[in-house]
Amino acid sequence: MGLVGGEENKNGNEDGVSGIQLVSKNKYKRMDFDVTDEDVTFPNEGMTDRNHNTEKFVFACAIFVSLNSVLLGYDVGVMSGAILFIQEDLKISEVQEEVLVGLLSIISLLGSLAGGKTSDAIGRKWTIAFAAIVFQSGAAVMALAPSFEILIVGRILAGVGIGFGVMVAPVYIAEISPAISRGSLTSFPEIFINLGILLGYVSNYAFSGLPVHISWRVMLGVGILPSVFIGLALFVIPESPRWLVMKNRVEEARIVLSKTNESKREVEERLAEIQVAASLANAEKYEAKAVWREMINPSPSVRKMLITGCGIQCFQQITGIDATVYYSPTIFKDAGIKGNTQLLATTVAVGLTKTLFILIAIFLIDKVGRKPLLYVSTIGMTICLFGLSLTLALLGNEKLGIVLAIIAVCGNVAFFSVGIGPICWVLSSEIFPLRLRAQASALGAVGSRVSSGVVSMSFLSVSRAITVSGTFFVFAVISALSVVFVYTCVPETKGKTLEEIELIFQNERGQQTSELEMGDSERLVQKE
């Protein structure tokens, strides 16, 4: 290599530091910025400890931010059992039951719509805090509700809080995570949703023996407990570095990046990338109205992003996963299982399966990739949904039918959890450019919540019209269509930075990846 303003090392080597040139006694030159010798980390010199500490810090942030998702999961799981006792205690009709179950998903779209603007205004961190406060207020109202009308008020509050939470958590994690582990970490909210569902099922079973007028109140009230941990989390997690750069708080962003990246060089590189992305957004003065205007009248690349992000969110729900979770007691009752205790015990098995396979997905998502897991997930769900439909139609109230129905339901939630469940949130948080990310992710979350609400609020009525078996046949057909959607609309984003992913949608043939990597290589060895 050539020298820059200094004498060559007598031995003509680079002291074992690849790509770093000796300039003077205590100064090195790399790329386009200078670093002193204290910035240079030699092989095996303190890197192991720093890597370990960085990984632990990012992991802890992902865990704490995902606690909001426990609230959503718990509400979904606990309501599947609590509704049995609410119906008996408050004497609500079947239509009121559907409204109570599905209203949360519909109302949560309000939180998701407001969540994008709120997270851009006050930051990702404090939006997470606000989401927890609103949800906990709703949970408390529901637990103390003396009537169906007050129960609905609490449900509305809880729905708004969930809307904020499901939108902002994946965005925060995507913005704070290194590219190599972003997929695994961004799927944490889905893992915690599953954990919450399992806890809800266990709560149902544990408190089912209490008097009817007390049992459902205790079931709903236990959901308030996670707020304590969310409060503690706010003292640990930092603000998103990308949001800080957008607000011209560059030094604070550098401090955060120093905790989430392994070297000072990498910190400066990531900061430079974020500043470029943020400067584009600021230069074009993207206010909320301008952002929505761009999404309403999108460029070809943004249109592709919206189709992919919103489409995967909708397919995640219209394949019937929330109907399976909310109404699993109804499904198993149709298969032939009798008694509330037996029904709730069976749902615990479903919750365990769902949680186990989401943990498997965490280890595979950044190794196997997004698209292969989506294929396995959607094809597997299609087979299980067809199987469940045939079982309920041909073997209802038979012992074999009960066994096959349990296997089909557990298989469906397993394939969901290993693919489209977590990957849906990963993709929707990483495919949009910085200027659109919060609002576009909010739009995708709205699609998810509306789809969930429509399915949840119509399941009992549709099942009465075309039978439970017929309803799941429809879900199976929709699941088959999701396989086609994955093939035609979803790109592979494994291992790419958020800025590289944006280029995928700007190039129809997807050749930009190799070109970008070649450009990076040339830049790294560029001589002054």
Mean pLDDT to the nearest integer, 13-37? 39
Report d(CA 121, CA 100) in Å as an integer: 32
**Using one digit for the tens of pLDDT, what is the confidence trace for 362-376?**
788 888 888 999 999
**CA 308-328-451 angle, 5° bins:** 25
Taking each helix axis as running N to C, give the angle between helix 370-394 and helix 399-418, from 0 to 180 degrees, rounded to the nearest 10: 160
pLDDT recorded at residue 381: 97
Measure the CA–CA gap between 99 and 106, rounded to whole angstroms. Answer: 10
pLDDT of 474 > 70? The answer is yes
At 51 the pLDDT is: 63
Task: Using pLDDT thresholds of 50, 70 and 90, give the confidence band for residue 66.
Answer: confident
pLDDT at 282: 57
| Per-chain mean pLDDT for the chain | 79
| Span 111-165, pLDDT tens digits | 777 887 888 889 888 898 888 888 888 888 999 999 999 999 999 998 888 888 8
- Report the chain's terminal Cα–Cα distance, integer Å: 10
> What is the rounded CA–CA span in Å between residue 189 and residue 323?
20
For residue 225, pLDDT over 70 is answered with yes
Q: Quickly state the pLDDT bin for 248 (edges 50, 70, 90).
A: confident
**Is 515 buried (19+), middle (13-18) or exposed (0-12) by CB count in 10 A?**
exposed
Question: Which spans in 123-261 are helix H?
Answer: 124-144, 148-176, 182-186, 188-207, 212-221, 226-233, 241-246, 250-260
Beta strands at 27-30 and 33-36: parallel, antiparallel or unpaired? antiparallel
Band the pLDDT of 406: cuts 50, 70, 90: very high
* 363-388: b (≥16 Cβ within 10 Å) or e: ebbbeebbbbbbebbbbbbbbbbbbb
Secondary structure tally for the chain: helices H, strands E: 23, 3
pLDDT top residue among 491 and 478: 478
Q: Specify the higher pLDDT residue, 518 or 416.
A: 416
What's the CA gap between 506 and 500, in Å, rounded? 10
Higher pLDDT, 344 or 15: 344
Q: Which residue has the tokens 């057909």?
A: 477
Q: What is the pLDDT of residue 385?
A: 96
Inter-CA distances, 282 with 10, 254, 306, Å: 49, 19, 22
pLDDT digits (tens, 9 = 90+) for 427-461: 877 888 777 777 787 777 777 878 888 898 889 88
What's the CA dihedral at 56, 57, 59, 65 to 10 degrees?
Answer: 150
pLDDT at 287: 55
Share of the chain above pLDDT 70, in %: 82
Predicted TM-score (pTM) above 0.75:
no
The 3-state secondary structure of 349-401, one letter per residue: HHHHHHHHHHHHHHHHCCCCCHHHHHHHHHHHHHHHHHHHHHHHHHCCCCHHH
With cut-offs at 50, 70 and 90, classify the pLDDT of residue 328: confident
Predicted confidence band of residue 344 (pLDDT cuts 50, 70, 90):
confident
Helix (H, G, I), strand (E, B) or coil at 40: coil
Q: What percent of the chain has pLDDT over 90?
A: 17
Alpha-carbon distance of 436 to 42, in angstroms, equals 39
CA distances from 519 to 1, 21, 29, 94, 510 (A): 19, 21, 19, 61, 15
Helix axis angle for 264-283 and 434-489, nearest 10°, is 100
